Structure 1
Amino acid sequence: MKFPTKDERTPFYFRQQGKPLGKWEQEHRLHVGQPASEHVLESGNVYRIDSTCLEITDESQARMQNVGLLWIICSAFASFSLFYGLLLATSPFRDSEEMMAKNGYWFGTIVGILLGFSSAGFFGLLAFDPMRRNMFTLKRRPIRLNRKTRRIYAIRTKDPGGIWEVPWNHDEFFCVGHRRMGGFSRAYDMYDIRHYQLDASGNVVRAFVLGQFVFTLEEAYAQWEYYRRYMQDGPAGLPEPYRFWAPRETFWEGYKICRGGKFSGAFFTLTDVIFAPFALLDAIARWLVLVTCSDPVWPPEIEAACKPMPNDPYARPYADDYIGVPSGPDARPSREDLARMLDQQQERRKRGALTRAEAEALLRSTTEQTT
């Protein structure tokens, strides 16, 4: 049995490796020097941004709880099936001779053993694959777009060779990817921004996704335009990031990520109360995945190349920006969130972060000097 490689938590391109790209990818290719949309969208993918580097998530970061939940469910079914098979396999040593002599005893026992062990193997393989690709690897797989070196750096695994480098030029193949999610009457379309590495024959060698899935093709083009304009023109003129991801995620942070698609805001409605246990279950599954993983570590040479310039007015998050998923209604920070932000502000200022007011004053003085 051939398993997907560990460099992707959701191996969308696994079946494409060694094959040429399909018609969809060819028709929706993206070019670094050609605008794809009049609109620019940042939908919550950013860790940090400055005049040198834009660091973003990969598409799996917001959905690790799904894989964790799949692993828990499959592991539970595999354990139950294995226990059932072992129980039947040992029944001849526990049952009386009269019970074993009954008509159909041995047939039912053998069929039950086969079903128990085969289902245990099936669910065990389903549990093993997400565990292999998600657990004991990396907590997050960031991607850095560097304007100075004109390269994209992507951490895929913590193994040797797990950091990929992609030149930002016209020869690289970027495109909008398309996936059909769900199934039957509830199936829906999702889109993403992909990079494919191709061999000399045009066959797929490897690939990764920049940012997260979006629901429409127009959103995908606008998301690409955010990355493209940053690399071509810099951070000036780009919309503010929707939010900044926390580099180190706590259980509470993970819970807020998991409840994001289920809640209307804070605990204000009956629906929110009903879905609270499901969000908690998702958060536990997410935590089980993350607790086994280690933080990604960039090589010193990449860290040096991506280091922001001193007093860069475009370097964000600012010292007074909120980092993480807000816990208040309508995706706004609550009082507790703002209190934590103030506690962290002094520490971030010591590391060289400007406040929003300082950055705006620096930009005004720079504009006045140039005019």
Structure 2
Amino acid sequence: MHVFSVDGEVYSAPWDDIFFTTGDCVTHKLTKRKNYDIRGHVLAEDRKTVLKTFTLSVSAPLREDLYRNWEFVRRYMEEGPEAVAGVLKLMPPVEGRREGIFFGYWYLMFSATYGAPFFVVPFLMALYLTAWPFRVFAMYTCRIPRWSEEVQASCVIAPDDPWDISAAQNPRSLWRWMLGMDKSHSMVDKKRAMMEVKK
């Protein structure tokens, strides 16, 4: 695994040398409510000493809510991308650049409304409109992360890799897709169709 550290360091560690667990990441002082995250401890050869610790980019108020995210990462790392490609619905277009202002709103909406009852969607659209400016502020005041040349050299993807799924396979109309009007969308199928055209 390749990791960005908060102090700017980029380091790598073998998957089998990392011990994963959950931890408390936020405690709300007024409500005494906790949030949990998934942490990876890079172990020394004695399998006891922790050399470094990092977190995956997900948190939740209940540990059980982290299980599906963990299973996605575990299956990807142990079984390969083909094991999880079918569940991908939307990819942020952030490779080498910042997230677009309007895409940020739609991504918030997707996260909030996916699987929600249809009658709740208008309420959530208004609610997340208030959070959207803060997401834009965060995106445009942070640096774009860049992997080191060594990491990039070790992660070159073949041009004909059928599992190289990116924002290029996103739904053509996010509106239609989010409202359930484009049920045929599949990132995997779209990738295969694009490869057939190239042939």
With the length of structure 2 as denominator, give the TM-score of the two structures.
0.66
The size of the alignment, in residue pairs, is 184
Equivalents in 1 of 2:161, 2:147: separation in Å?
A: 22
Q: Which residue does 1:255 correspond to in 2?
A: 105
The superposition leaves residues 255-278 of structure 1 with CA deviations (integer Å, 9 ceiling, x where unpaired) of 334455489699987735xx73x6
Amino acid at match of 1:207: T
Aligned to 1:234: 80
Instruction: Choose the corresponding residue for 1:207, options 53, 58, 72.
Output: 53
Alignment correspondent of 1:154: 3
Instruction: Return closer, same or farther for 1:281/1:214 CA change in 2, 3 Å cut-off.
Output: closer
Which structure is higher in RCO with an 8 Å CA cutoff and minimum separation 6?
Answer: 1
Q: What is the aligned partner in structure 2 of residue 322 from structure 1?
A: 170
Paired amino acid for 2:170: Y
1:195 maps onto 2:45 in alignment? no
CA distance in 1, matches of 2:48, 2:83: 36
Distance 1:164-1:332 versus aligned 2 partners, 3 A rule: farther
Does the 8 Å CA contact 1:174/1:195 hold for their aligned counterparts?
yes
Match for 1:271: what amino acid? Answer: F
Q: Are the equivalent residues in 1 in contact too, given 2:37–2:66 (CA < 8 A)?
A: yes
Structure 2: distance between partners of 1:331 and 1:299: 40
Gaps of 5+ in 2: none
1:61-109 Cα distance to aligned partner (Å, 9 max, x none): xxxxxxxxxxxxxxxxxxxxxxxxxxxxxxxxxxxxxxxxxxxxxxxxx
Partner of 1:355: 191
* RMSD between superposed Cα atoms in Å: 4.2
Q: How far 1:323 moved relative to its partner?
A: 7.0
Could you tell me whether the CA contact under 8 Å between 1:318 and 1:355 is conserved in 2?
Answer: no
Structure showing the higher strand proportion among its residues: 2
Deviations 1:286-328 (A, max 9, x none): 2223222221122222112111113111221374x21799445
Structure having the higher Rg: 1
2: CA distance, partners of 1:195 / 1:184? 29
- 5+ residue gaps, structure 1, are 1-151, 339-353, 362-371
Contact 1:265-1:330 at 8 Å conserved across structures: no
Question: 1: CA distance between counterparts of 2:49 and 2:70?
Answer: 23
Deviation of the 1:192 alpha carbon: 2.9
Alignment of 1:268-347 (within 5 A): 271-272=123-124, 276=126, 279-317=128-166, 319=168, 321-322=169-170, 326-327=174-175, 330=178
Q: Is the 8 A contact 1:245 1:323 kept in 2?
A: no
Task: State the 1:163 CA deviation.
Answer: 0.8
- How do 1:1-371 and structure 2 match up within 5 A? 152-157=1-6, 159=8, 162-169=9-16, 171-179=17-25, 181-182=27-28, 187=33, 190-197=35-42, 206-214=52-60, 216-238=62-84, 239-247=86-94, 248-259=98-109, 260-261=111-112, 271-272=123-124, 276=126, 279-317=128-166, 319=168, 321-322=169-170, 326-327=174-175, 330=178, 355-357=191-193
1:3 counterpart residue number: none
The answer to whether the 8 A contact 1:243-1:325 is kept is no
Q: 1:261 to 1:167 in 2, by over 3 A?
A: same
Tell me if the contact between 1:326 and 1:332 (Cα under 8 Å) persists in the aligned partners: no
